Structure 1
Amino acid sequence: MSEASFARPRSEIFEYAGATIEMVDVTTLLAAARVNPVELLRRATWPAPVQRVDLTVSGADDPAGPVHVFTALISARAEPMSTERIRKLVLGQDPLGVLLAKRIAAGDPVATRIVDGVGTAAAAAYRKLGLDRPAGPAAGREPGVLADAAVGLQATVTYEEDGTVARLEARMPRDEVGPDHLRAFITLTLQAVIELTEPDALRGRRYVISREALPKVPVTTQTVTLDMVGGLADVVAELRQIAISFRHPEAMARWGARRPQGLLMYGPPGTGKTMLSRALANEIGADFREIRTPEILDKWLGGSERNIKQIFRDARRYRVPTLMLFDEFDSIVSYAGAGGDAASQALNAVAGIFKQEMNDLIEANPNVIVVATTNFPHRVDESLIRSGRFDVKISVPKPDEVSRAEIFRKMIRGLIAAHENPGFRMFADDLDPAALGVASTGMTGADIKEVLRRVQLAKAMQEARTGKAEPITQQELLDAVRNLR
């Protein structure tokens, strides 16, 4: 496999209603959707009153056979019962209303007092009748169908009663689906957005349709997302489910469901547990609070207990979604219940307080999710991590051959997106991620990141000394893998 085929995917660019849309690596996107839902557009910005568009491609089994399901949820802001809205309701479109509107615009105080007096009475009546709840821009719209006859795609359109959410759904047989169908569904989604805004609302905007959101700046731990994680498909899928439960509190409330608020991740060092925690926080849109061991353990009697109480006291007051990470969890509560010396008793006290505080937090603040990571799960007392405190327990293993190839692919693709430009190529055309996956047997994601760092540094030093350096080749990467062992 050449470098161009896995690091620089093909893209298609088209325009609709003045907006530029770029679809990246659609064939891979559609193939991935057969296994797990692929979410698109969620981080895009939209014209008011539209706040968010969740576009998803997934696989399903219909009676006639397997299909691809295209779904779009368009969330729009409701219009408040403001003075301006009340005036519109009072004035209406009849000749008297138009006349009064002109008098108000001209600053006539008498007309203003008359209309606002009627408006105050109308607002009181609305409140009494329960009609003062804000209505969204889609309120009163009937279900319908949007279609693209050229590719034979039809999308049903339905609306929530309050008009704040529009839902589009289209289905195509899996064997027939192709890039044209995704393009058609995107245009139908944008058409629905325009119907909730203005005809020119999308002009000048740009939207990227991609399975992986590749930033134009180097990826850091703070900016990583689940899309950027390579080689841990099962782990990522489970974390996505947790993220969905946090992003849709209305569905949780409707069913009386309690989303998981405790998550334990365990596995060998370097497998990405801390990175996954940060990616989950970014996926939820949550603040990230990392609790390090020195913040809790104190040499003075009773100090550790006070520290853990204060950490959870603060957590109960968080008013926005927050992920609290207890990294190296075993170093805080290891061997709880073992031994009778002073050190063991101190650990037992911390563990006991952690249990109670965790119980209280789950009851007091559903906005917080607690993530604990450890390399040594056998050192953690089972009562600490039982269901009800830590509902989800995920093993994060060392990557296998296929996973290592995927990690190389994603890391290299991220470097290309961040650093390459028309006058500079970072990687040569002979890269083979499968061969790199074989050569790096036993390595973790952290090891692979170090391989790339070493090669990047060598190239930078070569250019600094000689003024020129050729792109990184497959052999140079294989040599770096060998030297790291």
Structure 2
Amino acid sequence: MGGEIFEYAGATVEIIDANTALAAARVNPVELVHAAQWPLPVQRVEVTVSSVDNPVGAVHVFIARIHAGAEEMTTDRMRKLVLGRDPIGALLSKRIAEGDPVATRFVDGVGTAAAAAYKKLGFDKTANPAAHREPGVLADAGVGLQADVAREDDGDVVRLRAEVPRDEVTANHLRAFVTLTLQAVTELAGPEALHGRRYVFSREATPPPAPVTTQGVTLDMVGGLTAIVAELRQIAVSFRHPEAMARWGARRPQGILMYGPPGTGKTMLSRALANEIGADFREIRTPEILDKWLGGSERNIKQIFRDARRYRVPTLMLFDEFDSIVSYAGAGGDAASQALNAVAGIFKQEMNDLIEENPNVIVVATTNFPHRVDESLIRSGRFDVKLSVPKPDEASRAEIFRKMIEGLVAAHERGGFRMFADDLDLAALGVASTGMTGADIKEVLRRVQMTKAMQDARTGGLVEPISQEELIAEVRNLRGSV
């Protein structure tokens, strides 16, 4: 899970997994503020991102609603005023702190009467600060984001609204909108009001510690595939430096085919490449393309590439399980085979000039069954790089264990809690896990973590770190169950 931390007006601001939030907003509105303490008169802030289809095109809509009002004159507030204004206040405060019931009843009685008088005299009609905020515009010139500012009908809410074309929206737009929202808060509460506070913007109500997932994986985190990682690094460099490519008349790869047994990390490598480039990750699965209605599959694949030609930010398009989309092209005469043939034909045409039409896009296809894919589909010029991703050898398995364990330690070891014993023998783990893939090793660790969590739940935390013996036992258990 990716995160960005920055400061604004003395506050620490964290935006968690912005790209995923923006992707999710394509389907349903996403609420980004779940619990926060705001400076008075701001009572709460709501920030949502959604996606709508306008006549001029699809857009992401950012909306912030800042609820602000005069602080209510309660008995408790008047009590504090009474204690702070009168010379006897210090003495009464001391007596109340010592638990004196007479002093407490006296001050509360005065406070209740004063609050009632305050309201009766009309002093509680203090103008709402939000009502003074005139409609206007807040803008971030750096990303070209402009937010319209208006008051809602009841006058207690200041609303910011901004739109960005769906194909152009990036995490930078979300950060800019968050910053404009905080700017509006400081206009209401004062320039120093946010100092020392912390605000988290996230899809999750209670964001967990950063887990080890493929969402934020980098090439540095990939274990056991040294040659493949080196090849992908070179591709990332060619993508990030088009000026050097142009100077030498070089053409970076347009497409990459990764093939190999299940569980060897092909999808993970694709995500790592996207992160290395700094590209958005767009995964296309079979149901998005194949349609039971006549002509539907052809329309779907055309639309996917039509969208691809409009991307304005670096984007990696992953066709996972590629063989299930275009397998056995040219074989068979039934309706299903004809549909696959049609999809394969359109795919060929679209890939012929994609890089010239939009150099922001790179295509990756993965398959467990390369023999099912017609060779004309993956010829050079369409898929220039073909990478075999094998099962890891002994040294590679030890390296995978090392990197996965390091990731778990970084994500979960806090405040003296130790997850793994100090005497782990990674080389022995590499030997014991003969024949396993990276996915298998991840499952071994998941099972051991689950066992430890159940022990923790039963004993209240009296659990030893994960040992070498426990890991070896789980490796054997998994090998015996497959």
TM-score scaled by length of structure 2: 0.55
- Cα deviation digits, residues 185-226 of structure 1 (max 9, x gap): xxxxxxxxxxxxxxxxxxxxxxxxxxxxxxx72222110000
Residue 418 (structure 1) aligns with: 411
Residues 1:369 and 2:353 are matched in the alignment:
no
Q: Structure 1 counterpart of 2:425, which letter?
A: D
Residues 1:277 and 2:270 are matched in the alignment:
yes
Residue 281 (structure 2) aligns with: 288
> Of 472, 478, 482, which residue of structure 2 is paired with 1:484?
478
Instruction: Work out the CA distance in 2 between the residues paired with 1:260 and 1:249.
Output: 12
- Cα deviation digits, residues 78-110 of structure 1 (max 9, x gap): xxxxxxxxxxxxxxxxxxxxxxxxxxxxxxxxx
Counterparts of 1:430-445 in structure 2, within 5 Å, are 430-445=423-438
Residues 1:300 and 2:293 are matched in the alignment:
yes
Instruction: Work out the CA distance in 2 between the residues paired with 1:221 and 1:395.
Output: 20
> Of 465, 468, 472, which residue of structure 2 is paired with 1:474?
468
> Of 357, 377, 399, which residue of structure 2 is paired with 1:384?
377
Q: Structure 1 counterpart of 2:264, which letter?
A: T
1:413 counterpart SS class: helix
Instruction: Work out the CA distance in 1 between the residues paired with 2:333 and 2:229.
Output: 41
Deviates most, 259-268 or 357-366: 357-366
> Of 383, 387, 390, which residue of structure 2 is paired with 1:397?
390
Residues 1:226 and 2:219 are matched in the alignment:
yes
> Of 255, 258, 262, which residue of structure 2 is paired with 1:265?
258
Instruction: Work out the CA distance in 2 between the residues paired with 1:466 and 1:422.
Output: 19
Q: Structure 1 counterpart of 2:463, which letter?
A: A
- Give how far 1:418 is off: 1.1
Instruction: Work out the CA distance in 2 between the residues paired with 1:373 and 1:429.
Output: 38
2:273 counterpart SS class: helix
- Give how far 1:319 is off: 1.1
2:349 counterpart SS class: helix
1:484 counterpart SS class: helix
Instruction: Work out the CA distance in 2 between the residues paired with 1:317 and 1:345.
Output: 29
- Give how far 1:362 is off: 2.3
Instruction: Work out the CA distance in 2 between the residues paired with 1:309 and 1:479.
Output: 50
Instruction: Work out the CA distance in 2 between the residues paired with 1:314 and 1:217.
Output: 32
2:452 counterpart SS class: helix
Instruction: Work out the CA distance in 2 between the residues paired with 1:374 and 1:481.
Output: 27
Residue 63 (structure 1) aligns with: none
Residue 341 (structure 1) aligns with: 334
Q: Structure 1 counterpart of 2:305, which letter?
A: F
Instruction: Work out the CA distance in 2 between the residues paired with 1:337 and 1:360.
Output: 23
RMSD in angstroms over aligned alpha carbons?
A: 1.2
Instruction: Work out the CA distance in 2 between the residues paired with 1:392 and 1:368.
Output: 15
Counterparts of 1:34-433 in structure 2, within 5 Å, are 217-433=210-426
Instruction: Work out the CA distance in 1 between the residues paired with 2:318 and 2:389.
Output: 16
- Give how far 1:276 is off: 0.4
Residues 1:446 and 2:433 are matched in the alignment:
no
Q: Structure 2 counterpart of 1:480, which letter?
A: E
Instruction: Work out the CA distance in 2 between the residues paired with 1:352 and 1:270.
Output: 29
- Cα deviation digits, residues 390-409 of structure 1 (max 9, x gap): 00000000000000000000
Instruction: Work out the CA distance in 1 between the residues paired with 2:356 and 2:245.
Output: 15
1:300 counterpart SS class: coil
Q: Structure 2 counterpart of 1:456, which letter?
A: Q
Instruction: Work out the CA distance in 2 between the residues paired with 1:441 and 1:252.
Output: 42
Structure 1 stretches of at least 4 aligned residues deviating more than 6 Å after TM superposition: none
Q: Structure 2 counterpart of 1:477, which letter?
A: L
Instruction: Work out the CA distance in 1 between the residues paired with 2:307 and 2:351.
Output: 13
Instruction: Work out the CA distance in 2 between the residues paired with 1:421 and 1:294.
Output: 42
Q: Structure 2 counterpart of 1:381, which letter?
A: D
Q: Structure 2 counterpart of 1:263, which letter?
A: I
**Which blocks of at least 5 consecutive residues in structure 2 are unaligned?**
1-208
Q: Structure 2 counterpart of 1:278, which letter?
A: R
1:478 counterpart SS class: helix
Identity over the aligned pairs, expressed in percent?
90
Instruction: Work out the CA distance in 1 between the residues paired with 2:298 and 2:356.
Output: 21
Instruction: Work out the CA distance in 1 between the residues paired with 2:241 and 2:212.
Output: 27
> Of 445, 452, 455, which residue of structure 2 is paired with 1:462?
455
Instruction: Work out the CA distance in 1 between the residues paired with 2:291 and 2:239.
Output: 34
Instruction: Work out the CA distance in 2 between the residues paired with 1:420 and 1:223.
Output: 19
Q: Structure 2 counterpart of 1:319, which letter?
A: R
1:371 counterpart SS class: strand
Residue 122 (structure 2) aligns with: none
- Give how far 1:471 is off: 0.3
Instruction: Work out the CA distance in 2 between the residues paired with 1:217 and 1:356.
Output: 41
Instruction: Work out the CA distance in 2 between the residues paired with 1:472 and 1:422.
Output: 17
Q: Structure 1 counterpart of 2:320, which letter?
A: D
- Give how far 1:422 is off: 3.9
Instruction: Work out the CA distance in 2 between the residues paired with 1:429 and 1:221.
Output: 26
Instruction: Work out the CA distance in 1 between the residues paired with 2:385 and 2:299.
Output: 27
- Give how far 1:254 is off: 1.0
Instruction: Work out the CA distance in 2 between the residues paired with 1:429 and 1:229.
Output: 22
Instruction: Work out the CA distance in 1 between the residues paired with 2:332 and 2:416.
Output: 65
Residue 164 (structure 1) aligns with: none
- Give how far 1:308 is off: 0.2
Instruction: Work out the CA distance in 1 between the residues paired with 2:212 and 2:249.
Output: 38
2:391 counterpart SS class: coil
Instruction: Work out the CA distance in 2 between the residues paired with 1:349 and 1:362.
Output: 22
- Give how far 1:466 is off: 1.0
Instruction: Work out the CA distance in 1 between the residues paired with 2:216 and 2:294.
Output: 39
